[in-house]
Amino acid sequence: MTGLPNSSGGISREQTIDYQNPSEPPDPTELDRLPWTNYREGGGQWVFSDLTDPVAQQLRAYLESVRRRVVIGDWNYRICGKPADPHAFIARNPIEAVSKPFRRDL
């Protein structure tokens, strides 16, 4: 990413993002502005990963580069589906929902 952060601390739309080598996740304030859709249950949200929004593109590139779940701000982010799939989406869950113990019935 080049240039200076905008007044909210995120990147402005005029800035250039290096999608081949994303070293930083987007600013949490900028992520909150994406068109998230709430899951019916669980408190999580999702957004299509093929959005043309620079913040969505930076998030997808960052998640693909680290290849794991990532905590940014108060949310845990991950790609759902194969990263190369244009229909994949990005999911996020509140940290407290993710940290609850997982129960598997045997």
The pLDDT value given to residue 104: 46
> How far are the Cα atoms of 7, 10, 56, 59, 71 from residue 67, in angstroms, in the given order?
30, 23, 16, 12, 13
Mean pLDDT over each residue of the chain, to the nearest integer: 76
User: How confident is the model over 34-59, as a mean pLDDT?
Assistant: 90
pLDDT of residue 78: 93
In this structure, how many other beta carbons lie within 10 angstroms of the beta carbon of residue 61? Answer: 19
Q: What is the pLDDT of residues 4-16, one digit of tens each?
A: 344 444 444 444 4
Instruction: Look at residue 53 and tell me whether its pLDDT is greater than 50.
Output: yes
The answer on pLDDT for 87 being more than 90 is no
Q: How confident is the model at residue 82 (pLDDT cuts 50, 70, 90)?
A: confident
> φ and ψ at 34, to 5 degrees?
-70, 160
Mean pLDDT, range 59-69, rounded to an integer: 89
